Amino acid sequence: MSAPPTSPSIVLLTVARRIEGELSAALAPLGLTVSRLGLLGHISGVPGASFSELARMSGISVQSVHTAVKALVAAGLVQDGTARAGAASTIELTSEGAAMLQEAMAAVSDVDDRLFGPDADPALRQVGDTVRIAFSAP
């Protein structure tokens, strides 16, 4: 019996699960999840983004974004300048949020190095190199 063909979808899904597990473990001491890190990054990259825009960028529901932003506000990482219900939001990182994002990105860099760096499995190194090339600025 011959080996089944390699499915890029299955391989990438397997790698994605490993990455998510590693990132979750690295972010836990900071009190962050992968999805909250994503929200912090989107808020940082698109200041004043609406809840709907954040939901689209994050691939989650608007209700989930509201819940997550409330938690980030409570943690002092984000400020929501919404004047009243139904008004446009002005969601921004606080200085604490910017510092947390920087610390979280250092943790992400450590995970990247562990999974895709010079001492990583050669196949994963190749995946990392391919992703960097595919998404680098021209």
Please report where in the chains the tokens 């606080």 appear, as a residue: 94
Q: What 3-state class would DSSP assign to 28?
A: helix
- Domain map (residue ranges) of the chain: 20-82+89-132
On whether the 20-82+89-132 domain is CATH 2.40.160.10, my answer is: no
pLDDT digits (tens, 9 = 90+) for 49-95: 888 999 999 999 999 999 999 999 999 999 987 755 666 678 899 99
- Specify the pTM: 0.84
Helices (H), the chain: 8-27, 34-45, 51-58, 62-74, 95-116, 122-135
